[in-house]
Every structure is written in structure tokens, then in C-alpha cells.
């Protein structure tokens, strides 16, 4: 079907919170094969984590699906020339001088680093969120954890996988910018902050410097190495992909989201929605102030980006869909969850009293609203009808409410965003999540026909750029080669819709103490007065 001996292919793999996805694209960037492996994080001894062995099980499963599809469609696997690895950003993966993992992987979802986050933010005059790798390292130092004396390398999940495939301890600048701040106008870690952090290491009698344990930074388009024999065994034990000749710099899911939505130019932005939700806005000028709600990271080519990140988005919606499916199964009906999503989402757009229904879909803590653990909650006024429309609209509004609170800051800063592009599976039902997100951010939101492809496709594009790159900028490459004929739909919210959403968001913010009390009394089991003024 696809057979063309002169064709070349690029493989992108993204290790997300609930799925490990592999996508193979051809020279026109069309997806010709994909593979998906489902997995879940574990909450062990107060830490959200994944076993690293499970990473390789998932990657091999997804890649084996690619290989099978390729063989069935006469895709020449020897023409797969380039590969890119992406994964969820931030978190804490540390190794000693013998490459031994020192502690279980602490993911971005952990909000256990408030002390270090606040101290580093004050020291640097630069926001260091609790998710960031440097916050995790410094918190471990403050906690006097034994392993900190032996740290020889710290990286992200994408950096770890790339290292094991190639032997190179490198990271794309976008992913690196979620570990340690990048110097303004540079493509290196901030020199002043490096010096300041090294002073902290000396104060704690640690005999290494931070620049020596961080990954080397690379920019999109650079060749980040070749796959080793051992790396090929980890990726593809069948050895069908032995023709890969270069790997792109490993990137975070924020960077691949920017690529997948062609949002790498100044004053463009994108919203990525899944287990978490984040909005990325490429800045023309630095922000005037430091905000704990806003990360400053970069595009894969190094431009400064304001990132508003909420830890919780679709998890609670997914849980309710699972419940609906179980009820239908118990009643003797076979159910396709895709149909349930589509029909309940469409019904949500006909809600009449959703403002009287309040949802906090918090499965984990949330930095923007200062919640340190999760307790999913649904509350409604007794007189308000309980029906599918109101119920689902309340959940969809809630999914983007925390993001809305962070975006309000950028609006007050006068940051101009010409257009936000949404991507992620939640946008597959036409005219639902797109409209609600547009109301939440108060402006136009575009969805492209590549919206559901997500970060794995974006990483495959970065891999293709690495292979094709002839000194063309990433922006130019995306405009001229990738998105020149992509169809898209834009929704512009009315002022009445924006006003209505903001009224709901005020109730959401005003009532947040309900969530705090649930966490304290129900989740933590604390026996005290938790009323908060």
C-alpha cells in the first residue's frame, strides 16, 4: 500500500502519563503507522512513580505494533532513518557514577518540594515550580537524604531513554528548561543561577557542581547521536529498525506540543490537554514580575515561553466514563467508550444549570490553587437538576478552570496571543472542548486535523527536521514543509460566553476551601479545625 523504496520515515515516541505512543511518519509527515501501550503511575510511600523497567516494556510494545503495521502495508523498515524520544517533563531521575539509579523516579506529579521551590525562587528571582528537577534535588538536599552525596547525573525521562539508546547524556533545550533555568537570550543554563546553586552545594558539603551533573543542551535540528547495539536491543529486540542513523535531541511533552501545533513563533501559543493541561505562550518580551503560577521555559529552538501548568485535567472525566461503561455492561449492553465520550461531550453543550454544579477533579495536588494532595469532588445545589448535560458540562468546565486562573496573569501582563492551538484527545469531539477552552482563555482557539496525533507526532516531526535540516529555522521548516496545507478550524468565543465562564471560575476559586477540607479531613485524616479564611 505504501511501498516506495525511495521513501524515508521518521519515528517519534512519546512517554506520556497514561500512554506510551509511537508514530511513524513518511516524508510528507503523514502518519503511516502508530502503536500505543497503556500504563499508569503508582503511588508508593507518598510518591507518584513509574518503574523504569516498565518504560522499556511499553516502548517495545508500541514499537512492535509499528513494525507489524509496516510489514502488513509493505512499508520498507530499512528506510526508517531517524528517531526522536519525548516524555513528560520535570521530575527527578538521579544516578551515581556507576550509572546506578539512586531513588525511584519522582514524577512531575509530586508536590513535595514546596520548601525548596520557595527558597530557589527567592534566591534566583525566577520562578522554580515544585515539579522542576532542580527543586527535587534541592529538596532532597534539605531533607538530608543519603543519596544526594552520590549524585553524578540528573535527567528527565526523555533524557534517560535517549541516554540508554545512544550513550549520550544530552537533552533538548525545551526539556532542559524544565530542569534548570536557561539564561535569557542564550541557549545555555543560566550562568548566574549556576553559580548561586553551586554555593548552596558547598554549604551542604557536596563535592560536585550542578553544571557537571546536568545534561548537555542541544537545539532542535542538531544530531543527538546514533543508536548503539545495546540501545537497539532495548528499542526493538527484533532488530527491524537497525537502519536508524540519527536521533533528534530528546524533548519534553511541552516542546512536542508546540511543534505539533506549529506554535513556536512569538505571540503564538498552544494548549495541551490530557492527564495534565498546560498552555504555552511564546513571549516577545520577558514578564515584568515573577509569578509562582507561571514557568518560564523555551521552545525546542530556544525562544522564551510562558507556561501555565495545571496537574489535573481529564483523569476525573475518564473515571466517570469508565463508571458509565460499567453500568451499561451490568445492564447487558456492550459499550464503545469512544461513543460515550462523544455523546456525553455533545450533551454537555446543552447544559442549563451547570453553574450550580461544582467539580474539583484533583487526583493529585495543584500548585496554582495551593493544594498539596488530591481529593476528586463533585458538589451541586440540591435544587439543580442532576442530568448528563449539567454533570458533564461541570466536569469539562472544571478541567480547564485552574488553567484559566493562571492565564489571567498573562492577560494582566499584557501578553498578546494571536491564536491558541488546542491538541490532545479531548479535542476529538468537534465543537466541545475547543469551545470551552476558548471561553476559559478568553480568545480564539484553533484545532488542526493533527490535533489528536499529539506529542508523538510532534516528536516524529522533530526527528524528521533533524534528518532534513539544511540550516533552515524550525519555524521556517514547520511553516513551509509540515503545515503548508493542514486544515484547521478556529472558534472565537463571544463576550457573553467569556463572561459566563469567568463567573463560574470565580465560584470555583472562591469555593476552593471545600477541596482543602476534603484533603485534610478525608485524605490525610487530620483531626483539626481546617477552616481557612
Identify the pLDDT of residue 530.
53
> What Rg do the C-alpha atoms of the chain give, in angstroms?
23
**Sign of the dihedral through C-alpha 172, 137, 152, 163:** negative
How far apart CA 178 and CA 171 sit, in angstroms, is 11
pLDDT of residue 533: 45
pLDDT at 8 over 70: yes
The rounded distance, in Å, linking the Cα atoms of 64 and 84 is 16
CA distances from 113 to 106, 387, 389, 526 (A): 11, 40, 39, 21
Is 113 within 8 Å of 48 (Cβ atoms)? no
The structure's pTM equals 0.83
Of the candidate ranges 147-151, 479-483, 528-532, the one whose mean pLDDT is the lowest: 528-532
The verdict on residue 354 lying in a domain is: yes
The answer to whether residue 37 sits within a structural domain is no
What are residue 495's phi and psi, to 5 degrees?
Answer: -65, -35
Structure confidence by residue, pLDDT tens digits, 117-164: 999 999 999 999 999 999 999 999 999 999 999 999 999 999 999 999
Domain count for the chain, please give it: 1
> Residue 330's domain spans which residues?
315-399+495-523
- Residue 353 located in a structural domain: yes
The torsion angles phi and psi of 100, rounded to 5 degrees, stand at: -85, 130
Share of the chain above pLDDT 70, in %: 97
Amino acid 191: pLDDT? 98
Residue 334 lies in a domain: yes
Q: How confident is the model over 226-238, as pLDDT tens digits?
A: 999 999 999 999 9
Strands (DSSP E) along 212-353, which ranges?
216-218, 246-247, 251-252, 268-273, 277-282, 294-298, 304-310
- What average pLDDT does range 253-273 have in this prediction? 90
Note whether 52 and 501 are within 8 A (CB).
Answer: no
Q: Which residues contact 299 (CB under 8 A, 6 or more apart)?
A: 173, 174, 220, 255, 258, 264, 282, 305, 474
Residue 452: its pLDDT value, please? 61
pLDDT for the residue 418: 77
- Confirm whether 62 is domain-assigned: no
Least confident among 5-9, 133-137, 248-252: 5-9
| Helix, strand or coil, per DSSP, at residue 489 | strand
- Residue 431 neighbours by CB distance under 10 Å: 14
Q: Residue 514: inside a domain, yes or no?
A: yes
331 within some domain: yes
pLDDT at position 4 is 52
Among 29-33, 157-161, 200-204, 418-422, name the one with the lowest average pLDDT: 418-422
Span 251-257, average pLDDT: 92
Mean pLDDT over all residues of the chain?
93
SS3 breakdown of the chain: % helix, strand, coil, rounded to 5? 40, 20, 40
Mean pLDDT of 460-487: 90
Q: What is the pLDDT of residues 330-374, one digit of tens each?
A: 999 989 999 999 999 999 999 998 899 999 999 999 988 999 899
| C-alpha span between 517 and 528 (Å, rounded) | 10
Domain-located, residue 510: yes
**What is the band of 264 on the pLDDT scale with cuts at 50, 70, 90?**
very high
Average pLDDT on 175-185 reads 95
In percent, the amount of the chain with pLDDT more than 90 equals: 82
Task: Tell me the three cell numbers of residue 111.
Answer: 508536590
Contacts of residue 222, Cβ cutoff 8 Å, sequence gap at least 6: 249, 466
The C-alpha cell of 50 is what? 513509574
Amino acid at each position: 500500500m505504501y511501498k516506495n523504496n525511495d521513501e524515508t520515515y521518521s519515528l517519534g515516541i512519546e512517554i506520556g502519563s497514561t500512554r506510551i505512543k509511537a508514530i511513524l511518519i513518511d516524508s510528507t509527515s503523514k502518519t503511516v503507522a502508530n502503536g500505543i501501550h497503556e500504563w499508569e503511575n503508582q503511588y508508593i510511600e507518598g510518591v507518584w512513580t513509574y518503574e523504569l523497567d516498565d518504560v522499556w516494556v511499553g516502548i517495545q510494545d508500541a514499537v512492535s505494533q509499528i513494525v507489524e503495521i509496516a510489514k502488513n502495508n509493505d512499508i520498507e523498515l530499512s528506510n526508517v532513518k531517524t528517531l526522536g524520544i519525548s516524555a513528560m517533563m520535570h521530575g527527578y531521575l538521579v544516578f551515581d557514577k556507576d550509572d546506578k539509579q539512586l531513588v525511584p523516579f519522582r514524577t512531575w506529579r509530586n508536590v513535595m518540594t514546596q520548601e525548596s521551590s520557595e527558597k530557589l525562587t527567592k534566591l534566583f528571582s525566577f520562578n522554580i515550580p515544585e515539579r522542576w528537577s532542580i527543586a527535587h534535588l534541592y529538596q532532597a538536599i534539605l531533607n538530608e537524604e543519603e543519596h544526594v552525596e552520590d549524585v553524578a547525573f540528573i535527567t528527565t525521562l526523555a533524557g534517560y531513554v535517549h541516554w540508554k539508546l545512544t550513550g549520550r547524556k544530552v537533552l533538548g533545550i525545551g526539556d532542559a528548561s524544565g530542569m534548570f533555568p536557561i539564561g535569557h537570550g542564550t541557549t545555555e543554563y543560566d550562568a548566574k543561577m549556576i553559580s548561586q546553586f553551586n554555593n548552596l552545594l558547598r554549604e551542604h558539603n557536596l563535592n560536585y557542581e550542578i553544571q557537571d551533573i546536568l545534561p548537555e543542551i542541544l537545539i532542535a535540528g542538531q544530531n543527538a547521536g546514533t543508536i548503539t547495539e545495546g540501545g537497539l536491543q532495548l528499542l526493538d529486540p527484533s532488530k527491524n529498525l537497525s537502519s536508524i542513523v540519527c536521533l533528534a535531541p530528546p524533548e519534553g511533552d511541552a516542546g512536542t506540543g508546540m511543534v505539533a501545533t506549529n506554535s513556536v513563533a512569538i505571540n503564538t501559543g498552544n494548549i495541551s490537554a490530557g492527564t495534565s493541561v498546560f498552555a504555552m505562550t511564546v513571549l516577545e518580551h520577558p514578564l515584568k514580575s515573577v509569578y509562582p503560577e507561571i514557568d518560564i521555559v523555551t521552545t525546542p529552538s530556544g525562544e522564551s515561553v510562558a507556561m501555565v501548568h495545571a496537574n489535573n485535567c481529564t483523569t476525573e472525566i475518564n473515571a466517570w466514563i469508565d463508571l458509565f461503561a460499567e453500568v451499561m455492561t451490568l445492564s447487558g449492553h456492550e459499550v464503545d467508550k469512544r461513543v460515550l465520550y462523544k455523546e456525553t461531550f455533545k450533551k454537555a453543550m446543552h447544559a442549563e444549570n451547570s453553574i450550580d454544579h461544582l467539580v474539583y477533579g484533583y487526583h493529585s495536588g495543584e500548585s496554582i490553587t495551593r493544594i498539596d494532595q488530591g481529593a476528586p469532588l463533585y458538589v451541586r445545589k440540591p435544587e439543580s437538576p442532576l442530568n448528563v448535560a449539567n454533570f458533564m458540562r461541570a466536569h469539562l468546565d472544571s478541567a480547564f478552570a485552574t488553567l484559566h486562573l493562571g492565564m489571567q496573569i498573562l492577560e494582566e501582563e499584557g501578553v498578546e496571543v494571536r491564536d491558541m492551538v488546542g491538541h490532545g484527545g479531548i479535542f476529538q469531539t468537534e465543537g466541545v472542548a475547543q469551545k470551552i477552552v476558548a471561553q476559559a482563555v478568553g480568545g480564539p482557539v484553533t484545532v488542526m486535523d493533527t490535533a489528536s496525533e499529539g506529542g508523538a507526532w510532534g516528536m516524529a516531526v522533530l526527528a524528521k527536521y533533524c534528518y532534513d535540516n539544511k540550516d533552515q529555522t524550525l519555524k521556517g521548516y514547520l511553516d513551509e514543509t509540515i503545515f503548508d496545507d493542514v486544515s484547521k478550524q478556529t472558534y472565537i468565543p463571544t463576550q457573553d460566553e467569556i463572561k459566563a465562564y469567568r463567573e463560574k471560575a470565580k465560584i470555583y476559586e472562591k469555593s476552593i476551601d471545600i477541596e482543602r477540607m476534603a484533603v485534610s479531613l478525608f485524605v490525610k485524616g487530620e483531626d483539626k479545625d481546617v477552616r481557612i479564611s
